[in-house]
Structure 1
């Protein structure tokens, strides 16, 4: 059979769309699908071959148009839910035919709206005019389309593209993901991208995940989404995700959520527990002595009977009994139960490590450095050494200190992101409060940065004084703050903070400005303008159902915009009827 030519394929529109899921690495839910294209069997089945031929024949626009149309038609026919990711050449986006063709009316034909479409722009393609391209991208953003930078890490201009475009998503190239669980350099690069994403409100998608090891490492690093053959191959008719994959994601996140987080009190002793072999009470002391001699790193043993913990024996205790002139002859043949310690420190698996540390340090001097036993359902689970306990506690404090805002000493964006992820993952009763100062720039310009810093510290002080210690407060940056509290106390708490702020603000102004109720300073165009005194706006997201922290931030932005339109200090929330359509 004669091989079909590229031009014949193009003329007959012989393109088949396939869809690959993009999946949350937090809970396995499907964010959406990337639409990919395949040609007919043979030379042009591969998308690489198709697009190379399109370039050769100067038919790139035509091929992309067919691919997009076929993808939208198939997605509509298959009733594919969620977000649809469409690949677009950055230079094609600026083409007048694309601008006039890809409209909301066009999307309506396929039952799609703009905010369900993400344009994937590959960084491998050089942009002819970056200034014009930025305007084009901003235009699409204004219409509610979202933007993804594709193949990040595959080219040399990626960072420039990211900083110019400010995308909603960054897709990490598969070569950066390949063997990331065994490559320290790739691990460090992706970790830095995770930190950047947290600070810039960008979502990361790891492409080309092919092994369980890669998946687990990406979950551990905090990458938001993933796609690849290990999750699901591209299919013309997508099928549900495999239960085995979902179980891996669930188990990995359960483990991650038990590891160091925002507060030491959030970390349970189980997360650093090591399960070691146990002894039967009748094991001879001489056998235990030999085992400890052969395994020099063991701190000792737990003694169990039917998995019930009945005692512990430390290396020091065994050595003390077996040494001396008569030690061996007296104790060698006796069972270990005769010398085991039955007054030992045992803690439940879900005990916070700060509480364990306090109890460990409260022991008598002779037991101060003995290992701690961990139980679950009152049965042996494992042990934790004092060394591991102290090292973990110190490391959490160091990690947290690195992510504190230096001005307010409140958690910054990395820890804020982690706390929000915890809210989404655990689906707990919560309210997220976003704080923003009104007219802060004019105050800063007129009174100087030192006084501006005092105002920022004032907000932090008020938050620390009013939000209880078991809840979370953080400093996003500049004059933006966040608090995560119980939903039932939102109204009273916000009113209290607004009152405290309004009462304190006048002392930061000259008396004359306070009497007038405004200040006069130049705006950004150099023209003098009157500005009201500082006020505080609080936007509250109360018990809303979200799948991503990005969605929470989007809702908060809309609320803050409404709140700031009102005069004076105000609080507005999704809990108040009629706030948002």
Structure 2
């Protein structure tokens, strides 16, 4: 009988023969999975995924590519997969992005550089600007400097770059800072249960903030549930991909209209969390039309335009409605003013002087995001025009002055409706928010929070300390609620009455977190003597002296799980009954009805 070692060798030999047979016959299938916008459901493109024969162990792509690496056939396999993918997609005359997976060691291969040319793509009726190379982050890149040069070469030819599986591999952050990709694809393990995992939610939010200021688009891979998608929309993630959106198919699938409606509805609800803030007003609402020039316009032509238009500070450079760059007046005259500058540039095309990567934002971008992008620019570009595009075409400009004026106006108007002590939304904003939730069908829990015996504390320690206690509660509510991956709204009704509206029924952990945090810090608001004896003495409502314990919290929760409310007045009446029951206990507690 053959021993175990011999059996393994025979099996590996058989697999090796099977693999080589697949390679020689070109027995590879391509399936396509769409990537869509999490803002409006529009198609970004398709990822081409390769699969081996249906009844083979190599149907699993990980086994397929792992075996190719072992046999030294990775280049041959990747070439076959690319040809199959491009051949399958060429008949569609693609105007969308095509995401192709490329091993970082292959993209630097001379055979790849010579083989993946514009002429090669023309055979498939595809332009380089439709191709996105997905470089996996699972394999380390040892020569970062050399790799960066290769990537820049591809970017100069119009190809786009995506870092794949971010969060699963070796050199992700260094790779990102060095090559500045167009896209980052978040590994599916980071996305799994993000609607329930506060740590993952916070981590992805940090990635989002980083990408916001570096002008990199985030793509969430492996979305499998509506709740995961909603959590990603709430954070602001640009694009999504996964089984919930569409499973991979051997043809180019269309996007389900019901899914698009879900995405649009969620974004509308997200905007309703803010009322007249820079987080909801679009840059398209404040853009202005501006004169633009062609890339072939000479320095002399630009000089004449600036001389004839003294108030003009810059000129967008536009080629067939597409943004090519930007030339600002101060930088233009600075170049002409250098030694030989006039002679060098006056009769040459402006394309050699322009900034070919100015800040450009889509018409639908909100002002808060535009502001973050604007201030993240290099100091010398801080006051350059912000270019506004629509449907990927040049639309107009916004100046930093326009942006500051509008943002300030919005924030001042919003601040009028905030509670001056806590800085939280006051009664007008609370009523508007409650009215929206009452008429909606989404799940919600309304938490009414107040401090037990707050009046007694105020009488003994004074209003100044009472205000400090209210501010402490406000910061506790904000800090605790932010740790959980649920959309929420926090308001200050007045006095010691606060409210949190949470888009979930699972609020027990939030309530417990608020109580524990509040109770753990309350001793700092009392004298040592009062803490030691555990009470203060004050007069009760009948004018009699009474012992009162250290203050605690009462949290009364109301949901729409089993009943609905016709208006906020009915809600208020019902909530008072729950609050009364909660107040019957003399320590911090919560009661969810």
**TM-score normalised to structure 1 length:** 0.50
